[in-house]
């Protein structure tokens, strides 16, 4: 069982909030976004193999068909009301048509999802679940779909019970509109109007009369404007019809309520099945989010180590662009890695990257590396060196001690403990002895592995002497006096503090004797030790550089050899063709001579031809070496294009290359070191031009006064989609003054939409302006 306190602290220290913000862009439901951000799921060791198999299969489906999110979760509108629908129904509540449509869509999507998730444990599970929903599909979904579409569009006029009421409603509304339009044209009334239109407030059809022109015989006042200058008056001629309309609307609402109650009773009878369907889509959204994020980032599927070994090939930090990649191999008998080396050299990034790899394994994510084999750790604990708390009276060292003591009380056996710059705020010798003692305790008594970075000389020496730990350091380019960020295994490294100070001080007007005085104060043994580490690092750097150059030279020589073989083949083939052409001319002439008299001569010439004829050479197969390291701006040979090209951008497993001014995406594995390879000119392809014209009229202001609620809802959702797609910069919905149904529904809906902001349009409470939240 994982300790939630340790997990929470580790996630905070590795900038999980930034990582999670990238992951949740692939999630569909807010409930899963909240879980990933604040309390991500931990997978147990025995669950991981099946889980990673599912992720690999989903990613394979994504590669085959594209984005599956819209397919799995089609028309599943994410809202608190929809997610609480089943609990509400279980308590005896009557769900709305929107909530029922959400539940209906989960069942319908189950059938299509089953066809895609045709692998692993999904096969039997979905077969069983689909069979259990057959009764709901027949009794609930089939009749429900006769008047409610999957996208939520409601057609009450298609329901046999409500259809007569709808016809009566439409007829009565038409009569009211005709009457009120006739009133607006009255000469006496028109002089008193604030606006030459009518509005609907609280289901009452009203006309806007200037307050200084109102007479009681015009009708009753339903509402006033915020300034008091306009009175919204219901004409006497329409009042009775409005009352009848309100009564019809009440009958329609009651009929809808009874219909919804009937469907809720059906769902209650199969509540267990319905909960299973809903839970399946919530869990599928979580799994698909992990798969989609891992696929987008081009992470690798990890192997869960069973023999205690750890291997991370070309691992990197997922938040750092163009991060230098490193590789570590840890045998089962080793208990940890101690990293030293210069400041700003990459120790923290290396430690965080390894910690993130282990955390990603527990969280069911693929690993930011080319290849990964990791042990499953009970807990993963990471802390840095700055825990100063002035309010609590804790210094940096005291704060760090508190954190470590708390960790020692709660950490489980067989965990990973990582510390960046351990005890860096106190005396070096005391810090080294204390750190080494703690490391011995957690590794020998608790069976934990450690990952530590340090500048302490004594600790580096003790670790180097131990056979249970791997000593490593981050590299430094002594020629250019800058860090390389490469992790070098096998030896400790110098902190390079004086050299870094010297390099940075050259940019400032600082006296040189400051550095000289610092060197004089250092103990001779310390200086000798640091100098030995620097010399060792220099030699290691030269060896690595020479090795890299030799590997590159070897690739070039192999390519040149293959190129020369190809040239030799072409020359021999040309000589062979020329010789064969001349011989055929001779043979043709000899065939015209009488066979009997010249048979001996012909035979002799044929033997001479066979003797002189060179053996036909098979074209050697080119075994070019795939480019070991691809850099932007470098030239390579591409076997897909059969020519050289320049890399302009690297995207995961693919690269964008430039050939004759054109940019083309090709796999990395199709690029070879280009030395010695003859380029063949590709055949020119015909240029195809496709012109697509799209004409759609968009509007930023919609007048919805007088609309029925369902018509108003469809119009609002359509216009908001245009706003979200960027077709319009803002949206103004004109719905009328007062507290009418349209205005009340609109503003309640907008409060639930987190990506939208709204306000009365320029102080006019009869219209609402909607903008996308930045």
What fold is seen in the domain 701-772? Ribosomal Protein S8; Chain: A, domain 1 (3.30.1370)
Structure tokens at 99: 């909530």
Question: What's 538-606 look like in SS3?
Answer: HHHHHHHHHHHHHHHHHHHHHHHHHHHHHHHHHHHHHHHHHHHHHHHHHHHHHHCCCHHHHHHHHHHHH
Model confidence at 528, pLDDT cuts 50, 70, 90, reads: very low
End-to-end Cα, the chain, rounded Å: 41
Give CA–CA dist 203/206, Å, rounded: 9
Listed residue (41, 267, 13) closest to 140, CA to CA: 267
Predicted structure pTM score: 0.66
18-54 residue pLDDT tens: 999 999 999 999 999 999 999 999 999 999 999 999 9
Dist. CA 529–CA 460, nearest whole Å: 11
Q: C-alpha 277: how far from its chain's center?
A: 26
**Range of lowest pLDDT (120-129, 192-201, 550-559):** 550-559
In this predicted structure, what is the pLDDT of residue 341?
A: 78
| The pair of three-digit structure tokens given for residue 694, joined into one six-digit string | 């799209």
CATH architecture of 303-506: 3-Layer(aba) Sandwich (3.40)
Joined tokens for residue 443: 């590794």
Where exactly are the structural domains of the chain? 10-133+270-297, 303-506, 635-673, 701-772
The domains spanning 303-506 and 701-772 adopt the same CATH topology: no
Query: What is the average per-residue pLDDT within 172-182?
Result: 94
Which of 13-27, 182-196, 212-226, 482-496 is the least confident region? 482-496
pLDDT of 657 > 50? The answer is yes
Q: What is the pLDDT of residue 660?
A: 74
Q: Could you tell me the two tokens for 451?
A: 């990952």
Name the strands in the sheet holding 326-330, side by side, starting at the edge strand that comes first in the sequence.
303-304, 371-374, 310-315, 326-330
Across the range 1-18, mean pLDDT stands at: 85
Q: On the CB side of 519, how many CA atoms lie within 13 Å of its CA?
A: 13
The three-state secondary structure class of 398 is helix
Question: Taking a C-beta distance cutoff of 8 angstroms, is the pair 25, 395 a contact?
Answer: no
SS3 of the chain: helix, strand, coil, percent, to 5: 50, 15, 30
Q: What is the DSSP string of 294-320?
A: HHHHTPBPPEE-SSS-EEEEEE--TTS
Residue 694, pLDDT score? 47
pLDDT tens per residue across span 284-296: 999 999 999 999 9
Asked whether 292 and 202 are in contact (CB, 8 A), the reply is no
DSSP lists the bridge partners of residue 300 as: 367
More confident residue, 720 or 313: 313
The model's confidence at residue 399, banded by pLDDT at 50, 70 and 90, is confident
Q: What angle do CA 423, 429, 432 make, to 5 degrees?
A: 50
Q: What's the half-sphere exposure (Cβ side, CA atoms, 13 Å) at 47? A: 10
Which of 139-148, 356-365, 553-562 has the lowest average pLDDT? 553-562
Q: What SS3 class is residue 662?
A: strand
The single residue listed with the structure tokens 């409060």 is 751
């Amino acid at each position: 069982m994982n300790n939630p306190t340790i997990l929470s602290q580790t996630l905070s220290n590795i900038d999980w909030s930034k990582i999670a913000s990238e992951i949740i862009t692939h999630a569909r439901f807010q409930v899963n976004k909240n879980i990933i951000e604040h309390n991500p799921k931990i997978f147990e060791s025995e669950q991981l193999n099946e889980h990673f198999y599912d992720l690999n299969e989903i990613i394979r489906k994504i590669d085959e068909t594209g984005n599956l999110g819209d397919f799995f979760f089609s028309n599943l509108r994410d809202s608190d009301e929809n997610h609480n629908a089943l609990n509400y129904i279980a308590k005896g509540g009557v769900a709305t048509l929107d909530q029922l449509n959400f539940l209906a869509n989960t069942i319908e999507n189950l059938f299509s999802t089953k066809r895609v998730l045709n692998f692993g444990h999904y096969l039997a599970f979905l077969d069983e679940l689909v069979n259990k929903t057959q009764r709901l599909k027949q009794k609930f979904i089939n009749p429900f779909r006769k008047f409610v579409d999957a996208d939520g569009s409601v057609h009450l006029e298609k329901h046999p019970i409500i259809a007569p009421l709808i016809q009566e409603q439409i007829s009565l509304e038409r009569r009211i509109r005709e009457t009120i339009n006739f009133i607006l044209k009255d000469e006496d009334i028109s002089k008193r109007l604030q606006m030459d239109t009518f509005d609907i407030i609280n289901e009452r059809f009203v006309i806007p009369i200037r307050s200084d022109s109102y007479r009681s015989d015009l009708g009753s006042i339903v509402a006033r404007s915020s300034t008091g200058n306009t009175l919204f008056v219901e004409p006497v001629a329409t009042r009775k019809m409005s009352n009848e309309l309100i009564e019809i609307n009440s009958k329609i609402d009651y009929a809808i309520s009874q219909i919804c109650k009937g469907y809720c009773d059906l769902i209650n009878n199969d509540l267990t099945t319905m909960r299973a369907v809903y839970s399946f889509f919530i869990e599928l959204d979580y799994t698909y989010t992990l798969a989609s994020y891992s696929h987008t980032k081009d992470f690798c599927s990890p192997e869960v180590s069973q023999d205690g070994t750890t291997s991370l090939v070309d691992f990197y930090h997922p938040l750092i662009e163009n991060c230098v990649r490193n590789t570590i191999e840890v045998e089962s008998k080793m208990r940890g890695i101690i990293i030293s080396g210069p400041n700003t050299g990459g120790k923290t990034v290396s430690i965080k990257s390894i910690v993130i790899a282990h955390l990603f394994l527990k969280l069911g994510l693929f690993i930011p590396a080319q290849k990964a084999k990791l042990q499953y750790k009970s807990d993963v604990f990471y802390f840095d060196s700055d825990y100063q708390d002035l309010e609590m009276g804790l210094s940096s060292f005291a704060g760090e001690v508190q954190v470590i003591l708390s960790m020692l009380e709660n950490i489980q056996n067989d965990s990973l403990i990582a510390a960046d710059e351990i005890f860096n705020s106190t005396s070096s010798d005391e810090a080294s002895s204390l750190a080494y003692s703690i490391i011995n305790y957690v590794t020998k008594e608790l069976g934990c592995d450690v990952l530590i970075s340090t500048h302490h000389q004594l600790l580096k020496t003790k670790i180097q002497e131990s056979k249970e730990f791997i000593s490593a350091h981050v590299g430094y380019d002594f020629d250019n006096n800058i860090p390389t960020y490469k992790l070098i295994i096998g030896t400790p490294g110098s902190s390079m503090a004086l050299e870094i100070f010297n390099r940075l001080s050259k940019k400032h007007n600082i006296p040189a004797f400051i550095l000289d005085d610092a060197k004089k104060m250092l103990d001779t043994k310390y200086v000798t030790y640091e100098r030995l580490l620097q010399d060792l690092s220099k030699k290691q750097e030269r060896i690595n550089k020479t090795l890299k150059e030799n590997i590159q030279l070897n690739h070039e020589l192999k390519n040149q050899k293959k190129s020369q073989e190809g040239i030799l083949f072409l020359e021999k083939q040309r000589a062979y063709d020329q010789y064969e052409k001349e011989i055929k001319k001779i043979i043709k002439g000899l065939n015209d001579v009488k066979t009997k008299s010249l048979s001996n001569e012909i035979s002799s010439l044929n033997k001479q031809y066979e003797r002189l004829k060179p053996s036909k050479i098979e074209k050697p197969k080119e075994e070019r070496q795939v480019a070991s390291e691809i850099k932007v701006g470098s030239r390579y040979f591409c076997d897909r294009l059969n020519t050289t090209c320049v890399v302009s951008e690297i995207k995961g497993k693919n690269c964008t290359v430039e050939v004759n001014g054109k940019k083309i995406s090709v796999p990395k594995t199709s690029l070879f070191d280009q030395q010695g390879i003859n380029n063949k000119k590709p055949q020119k392809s015909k240029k195809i031009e496709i012109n697509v014209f799209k004409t759609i009229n968009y509007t930023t202001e919609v007048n919805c006064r007088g609309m029925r609620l369902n018509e108003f809802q469809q119009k609002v959702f359509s216009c908001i989609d245009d706003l979200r797609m960027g077709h319009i910069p803002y949206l103004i919905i004109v719905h009328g003054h007062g507290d009418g149904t349209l205005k009340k529904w609109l503003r309640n809906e907008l409060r639930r939409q987190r990506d939208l902001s709204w306000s009365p349009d320029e102080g006019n409470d009869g219209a609402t302006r909607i903008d996308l939240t930045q």
